[in-house]
Chain A
């Protein structure tokens, strides 16, 4: 599905990723862990550029349009699949079919009470779930998500993680919660200063060792 061979990346003359070699087969649930600044976001970006058409994306800053409603923001995942006139009409007057589709997704993620509220009025956690819902609305086979549960409490985090891992075939998540990564993913890659320091199936990893290296 993804293939990187000795990939490097730099930003403002500073190396962000060094000599990354990586294969990700279809169907894998992969967690990227590491401190902030270790290169997780940049690695996600590299992966995204490999096949942008097939990917649903949850960016770290959510990428929401705060003046539009939750409904419109989630619907944006569908823009590419619908005719332009349909999108424009739906922008001015929410249509019945998309309303139902979006509400279904929001129901799963426990946000349907905010369906028609402007995103600007939501809390950080609600905005994050809106961004997740948009990715689910898009419904690609692959999900790339940068810290998709960073603003959620434990209960909501588990809900979102299980939804994402069930909904998408291939999943690559950047995250810093090691327990969640161990629970929901089948492979973990640890990054440190732009280099891969761990790459192993979840089953072979020890929670305490990971916490020592990558814990907060």
Chain B
């Protein structure tokens, strides 16, 4: 027994979890986790005392802001859905897939910053900022839905009818529910996107939210946040298939404003602004290389390092928060009343866009990575905890299974851990994309350098940095997919069936 004692082999997902925790620990010394404000508790106190007296009164036209938010979301998501659906049909072309991946890899706030330069405050800016990345996402997910659907009926009638009729008769009816479910989920995301576009100047809720924040008007902040929560919570009441045409007809009139597209501007953007400076000045290839080299070393590299450090720390904290929070809504741990409190808490946490959470925490703590990490982890942790809580409800426990923490550690976590990691790795790339945009708030991730370049009207540099950000996202997405597929192999049918 002593010599050939069996060795306790931890499963591969344990090892990968451990590896990522080690990476996060290694990132820790490079992360700026300081609290810079003089008296953060007093600020927090002022924030929450605003909750007691929410007031919309000082805001000029809250209803208009609400309508703008909804109109941008509806138009952006619908156009994205229609074009994305067409693209899904030709998603098997590598070129289409690659272009969609690159478009997706750029966050809608960055798209908005780009379109602001081209179209100014014209409604097209907000429309494209939501529509374009949503189109790319819709194309991918719709294509996945089509791929997983049953093709047999379609293949049978394919040759005796036109492609289109065959598609509408033999494919769409079976998949319709999936398309609807995903599209309505994205509409909720669209409302969040449309809200935060206000932070960079569009007339949506975020615009008033950011100015109320900056002025320290916390009563207004809470009033606007509550308005936002009500909007999200009431989706199922006001989003009806029959009402959608009405919304689509009205929305263009709501977002219309009197700004005009300056075609000189558009022309200059493409022919001058985004052309690297050395080329514009007619300098040689060596000058261009030097220009790129300096940009890469001084801005892209620190931006990449900080984005990755922030992402890895936020990822681990997200996982930790998920594991702590999912029991709050699980039937295996709490009775109905306690669960309803848990549900409410998780709904609030996951509906609040991470950008707004980060904005709040930054106001309280000052610019460092700490507020960004916490904001990303709270938002993403709540999303995964919600999914895991529901997943755990379906676990078949024995009649005599233990209770409490023993049940948590022995019966539940080992059973859901594979699913948990799949969700977490799925959100990895999303967290990276979000950590890049939090740079706009002053944390030195890639978004910080992009935003500064745009402020300095050096759009050529901004474009290069945005492309680098997109490529980084594509890289992480590829690694994440690789890990997920490897884990799935080693985890058996437990995860494949879900």
Contacts and interface: CB of A to CB of B under 8 A. Distances in A.
Contacts of A94: 8
Interface stretch (B122-130, B341-349, B386-394, B401-409): B401-409
B11 A65 contact: no
B418 interface: yes
Contacts of A71: 8
Interface in A79-114: 79-80, 84, 87-88, 91, 93-94
Contacts of A76: 402, 410-411
B399 to A, nearest CB: 6
B417 interface: yes
Given A94-B8, A116-B7, A120-B492, A65 B399 contact: no
B399 A59 contact: yes
Nearest to A72: B410
A211 interface: no
A90 to B, nearest CB: 10
Contacts of A118: 11
A67 B398 contact: no
Interface in B394-449: 396-402, 404-406, 409-411, 414-415, 417-418
Interface string B58-81: 000000000000000000000000
Nearest to A55: B400
B405 to A, nearest CB: 6
Contacts of B398: 57, 59, 63
Interface residues on A, range: 20 to 34
A67 B11 contact: yes
Contacts of A57: 398-400
A68 interface: yes
Which among B397, B400, B494 has the greatest number of chain A C-beta atoms within 10 A? B400
A32 B6 CA distance: 39
B399 A48 contact: yes
A59 B404 CA distance: 21
Contact of A116 (B8, B396, B415): B8
Given A116-B7, A120-B492, A68 B400 contact: no
Nearest to A135: B400
Nearest to A59: B398
A91 B409 contact: yes
A128 interface: no
Contacts of B406: 79-80, 84, 87
A71 B410 CA distance: 12
B9 interface: yes
Interface in A99-152: 115-116, 118, 120
Nearest to B405: A84
A69 B396 CA distance: 18
B189 interface: no
A120 B11 CA distance: 11
B410 A68 contact: yes
Interface string A163-195: 000000000000000000000000000000000
Interface in A34-66: 45, 48, 52, 55-57, 59, 61, 63, 65-66
Contacts of A87: 406, 409-410
Nearest to B407: A79
A93 B8 contact: yes
Contacts of B415: 65-67
Contact of A68 (B396, B414, B418): B414
Nearest to A68: B414
A119 to B, nearest CB: 10
A53 to B, nearest CB: 9
Nearest to B395: A65
Interface string B462-487: 00000000000000000000000000
Nearest to A45: B399
The 4 tightest CB contacts between A and B, nearest first, are A63-B398, A57-B400, A79-B406, A79-B402
Given A61-B396, A66-B492, 12 more contacts: A48-B400, A52-B399, A59-B398, A63-B396, A63-B397, A65-B415, A67-B417, A67-B494, A76-B411, A79-B402, A88-B405, A118-B11
8 contacts: A52-B400, A57-B398, A59-B398, A72-B410, A76-B410, A87-B406, A88-B405, A116-B8
Interface of B: 6-9, 11, 396-402, 404-406, 409-411, 414-415, 417-418, 491-492, 494
